């Protein structure tokens, strides 16, 4: 055996007290998830590529489309959003990336 000072046994995933090690702490001190308002009914499918203000809510500061687990959209809504963002980028209403 190796002489380890850190109380962890890397072979079985347990610490020196016999308890299982747990994974990381999630989002950390930065806070929780960014949730969108609930879109329902007709409004849900009405992502307009000509309205960059509506789409910017779902774009990160780096210019990426936020994932479903963060935005809270359904799969169908996320596909409509992705299509609208791509169209808006194509006609230069939204940037592809940021200049940082």
pLDDT, tens only, 7-29: 555 566 666 777 776 665 555 55
Residue 45's pLDDT is: 60
**10-residue stretch averages of pLDDT, the chain, 100 residues long:** 56 70 57 56 74 95 95 95 97 88
Helix (H, G, I), strand (E, B) or coil at 44: helix
In the chain, domain spans: 8-90
pLDDT at residue 22, rounded to an integer: 67
What is the pLDDT, as a whole number, of residue 6?
56
Rounded to an integer, what distance in angstroms lies between the CA atom of residue 66 and that of residue 4?
A: 42
CATH number belonging to domain 8-90: 4.10.640.10
What are the backbone angles phi and psi of residue 72, rounded to the nearest 5°?
A: 80, 15
Question: What pLDDT sits at residue 13?
Answer: 66
């Amino acid at each position: 055996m190796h002489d380890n000072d850190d109380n962890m046994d890397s072979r079985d995933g347990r610490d020196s007290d016999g308890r299982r090690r747990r994974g990381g702490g999630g989002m950390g001190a930065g806070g929780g998830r960014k949730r969108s308002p609930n879109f329902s009914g007709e409004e849900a499918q009405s992502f307009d590529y000509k309205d960059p203000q509506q789409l910017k809510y779902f774009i990160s500061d780096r210019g990426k489309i936020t994932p479903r687990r963060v935005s809270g959209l359904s799969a169908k809504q996320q596909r409509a959003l992705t299509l609208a963002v791509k169209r808006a980028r194509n006609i230069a209403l939204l940037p592809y990336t940021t200049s940082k």
